[in-house]
């Protein structure tokens, strides 16, 4: 447990990050690109959101693979946050969602190079594939949220619910 004088600024910082990134990426970028189509705006604003996270890796000891991993992961999360914003019709829900997602940042221990010890050498294949877990998790979840927003449960889910008696009756 952190003392309140340390935890409170951390929580305010966390909310500030979520709010500022959401206002820029979802409010400004998505809002400006939306007249080209909602799908294009979602993808492009998510890419911009991912690229915003390159600032963490600028400077001494810059690691291309860590930056690549973080940008891919952040872009996928941006797509999910965009789906949450569109579905709830509120940037505030997306900002709180972002803040809750980043909750671990307040309590993370800062690691310097001396703490790392021997850095395991990864293969090119490992480095290329490692960051793709997040997109395979977040993007289908975002598409499912958007599908529910457009018109309810997909028919295959309704048929499965009826087959396994998860629902009493289904109205077509």
168/15: higher pLDDT: 15
- Nearest in space to 21 (alpha carbons), one of 41, 51, 43, 44: 51
Q: Are 65 and 127 in contact (CB under 8 A)?
A: yes
Per-residue pLDDT band at 152 (split at 50, 70, 90): confident
Examine the pLDDT at 136 and tell me if it is beyond 90: yes
User: pLDDT per residue over 32-55, tens digit each?
Assistant: 999 999 999 999 999 999 999 888
Q: Which residue has the tokens 């900002």?
A: 95
Examine the pLDDT at 65 and tell me if it is beyond 70: yes
Q: What does the DSSP assignment read for 69-95?
A: HHHHHHHHHHHHHHHHHHHHT-HHHHH
Identify the DSSP state of 36: G
pLDDT over 90 percentage in the chain: 31
Examine the pLDDT at 170 and tell me if it is beyond 70: no
pLDDT of residue 102: 81
Mean pLDDT of 9-26: 85
Cα angle 128, 41, 145 (rounded to 5 degrees) comes to 80
Mean pLDDT of 88-95: 89
Examine the pLDDT at 16 and tell me if it is beyond 90: no
105/41: higher pLDDT: 41
pLDDT of residue 85: 93
pLDDT of residue 80: 95
Question: Which residues touch 84 (CB under 8 Å, ≥6 apart)?
Answer: 93, 94, 97, 142, 145
- What does the buried/exposed string (b/e) look like for 19-38 if buried means 16 or more CB atoms within 10 Å of the residue's CB? bebbeebbbebbeebeeeee
């Amino acid at each position: 447990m952190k003392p309140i004088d340390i935890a409170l600024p951390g929580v305010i910082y966390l909310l500030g990050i979520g709010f500022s990134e959401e206002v820029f990426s979802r409010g400004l970028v998505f809002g400006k690109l939306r007249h080209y189509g909602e799908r294009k705006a979602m993808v492009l604003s998510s890419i911009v959101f991912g690229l915003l996270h390159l600032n963490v890796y600028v400077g001494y000891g810059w690691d291309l693979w860590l930056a690549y991993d973080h940008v891919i992961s952040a872009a996928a999360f941006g797509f999910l946050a965009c789906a949450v914003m569109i579905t709830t019709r509120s940037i505030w829900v997306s900002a709180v969602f972002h803040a809750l997602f980043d909750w671990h940042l307040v309590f993370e221990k800062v690691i310097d190079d001396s703490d790392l010890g021997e850095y395991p050498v990864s293969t090119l294949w490992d480095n290329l594939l490692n960051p793709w877990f997040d997109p395979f998790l977040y993007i289908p979840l975002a598409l499912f949220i958007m599908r529910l927003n457009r018109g309810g449960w997909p028919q295959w889910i309704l048929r499965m619910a009826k087959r396994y008696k998860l629902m009493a009756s289904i109205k077509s």
